[in-house]
A and B are shown apart, each in its own frame.
Chain A
């Protein structure tokens, strides 16, 4: 039996219920023996883990551990040299990022990638693009169906804008917003796609304590309210431990820990990595 197969069979079948009553389901995405190289540098070395339906899964590790690379593999921005990605029970072929997005994987970026020239509303509307069916000619001529579709999408977008409490800046060009709000708009755009998997790349990076608390609350609410599965990356351990159901710890491109926050916290390798113990 190969390592990968063993991993699947070792999982308890249909998930569990958390202390606060949320239901964690079966495996939604599975990374099997992923190795990613840039030239001679191995950014990710033979890593396997899974993401379950409805959970908040964190990937943590010191700077340069390969967390962002891993997120980019999941979202299709990088293609690993070795290993397989399984999604909803199917092996995912080599895909371009926009194809991954169309499969229901939305993401945010560490350095915020918003459409700076557009308003907040327009930015969030782009998240709905894949829910719009009307073809180019129908749209150009603005026939009834296209109009109805636009209205439905607008309603959905307004819901998300309300949810994230950014009503007051709906018509503001994004370029004028402060950093913390931009991060929230980016989250809104990702949510507008109604993703089955939401990837957050350092959602708290560069925020003050208050903003971090806001963002944590939003992440929990999104997971609770919409049942969205979330995988997030952070190097700040404190916040992550309170947020997530399970944590993968990476260091120098390898996985050094995987489990509940408590398990990870007491893992000697993890403690060493964060205290900066020299590698042999």
Chain B
């Protein structure tokens, strides 16, 4: 097999893995958008916040320590414990649920029935508030996150492909785990929404608020539930990205990559978010591989957005989104 084709295959596989992570962030957007019609700009920041909180809890960091020390002249930084990863993840999950409740209670309950643009602006405010809150609580330094996921080259794939093609593929173990976890998450979410009482209520709310009220569904409960699930998805995404490239504030920018993913997949489709993520991941890696050298590289920064732009022109509802036809 020619070398170029082998390289391309390796790039393709790595693109798929990167795409899974985009898809995870996009998934959080889709969940909230479907159930409440809110485009949650803060989804990326939620992933950052979740990762920060996770590291903080694991390392026993004292929240707001800088503030406390500055006000009271104390010198507290650590509680002095190291929690096992699983316990810390569970606790962070609880924090995300509390956050969902607070966000709904303080912001979105008061904005019921408002224009989508108003709700969108509220989430922008929320994004900046949470970025600041994360900074204040846990500090702005780049943190290492290690929850015990294996990292580094997968030797089995390397050896197998070497034997088969005479060239060993480099696939990161972390990416494989991320793919597996994302797949499990999507399957779990699908089963939940199709077959459980709350899942059915959730779909009902997404479809028609009035009708949902008339069969006895509390909109507030469902919204808190949805924000909690989105917070949980953000936590998973935060763990993956944080393990890969450290927990840092540029993590919130990943959310911007989720936008083209959503434009491709459609804002209302969970499978769309997955497929869209994979297409963007593979597309930008292959494009960089094939066209990058001709134009001086760095195409990964803009490829996704140009692709999204093309989609906006020719298929604005995305690949899987519902086509919205308004009666005039």
Contact = CB atoms under 8 A, between A and B. Distances in A.
Given A113-B210, A118-B203, A132 B215 contact: no
Given A129-B201, A139-B196, A139-B198, A102 B214 contact: no
A97 B211 CA distance: 10
Contacts, number: 86
B217 A129 contact: yes
Given A114-B208, A117-B207, A118-B203, A136 B198 contact: yes
A129 B200 contact: yes
A255 to B, nearest CB: 25
Contacts of A150: 195
Nearest to A97: B213
Contact of A142 (B195, B201, B208, B212): B195
A98 B211 contact: no
A274 B216 CA distance: 36
A109 B211 contact: yes
Chain B CB within 10 Å — which of A96, A109, A113, A134 has the most? A113
Nearest to A132: B197
Contact of B215 (A117, A118, A126, A136): A126
B232 to A, nearest CB: 12
B211 A113 contact: yes
A75 to B, nearest CB: 7
| Number of chain B interface residues as a range | 20 to 34
Contacts of A101: 213-216
A35 B199 CA distance: 38
B161 to A, nearest CB: 39
A97 B203 CA distance: 18
A187 interface: no
A80 interface: no
Contacts of A129: 197, 200-201, 204, 215-217
B218 interface: yes
A150 B200 CA distance: 12
Enumerate the 3 nearest inter-chain pairs by beta-carbon distance, A residue then B residue, closest first: A101-B216, A113-B211, A115-B207
11 contacts: A96-B213, A101-B215, A113-B214, A117-B322, A118-B207, A122-B203, A126-B200, A129-B197, A129-B216, A130-B216, A150-B195
Given A113-B208, A139-B198, 20 more contacts: A96-B218, A97-B213, A101-B214, A101-B216, A107-B214, A113-B210, A114-B211, A115-B212, A116-B208, A117-B203, A117-B207, A118-B203, A122-B203, A126-B204, A126-B215, A129-B215, A130-B216, A132-B197, A136-B196, A193-B216
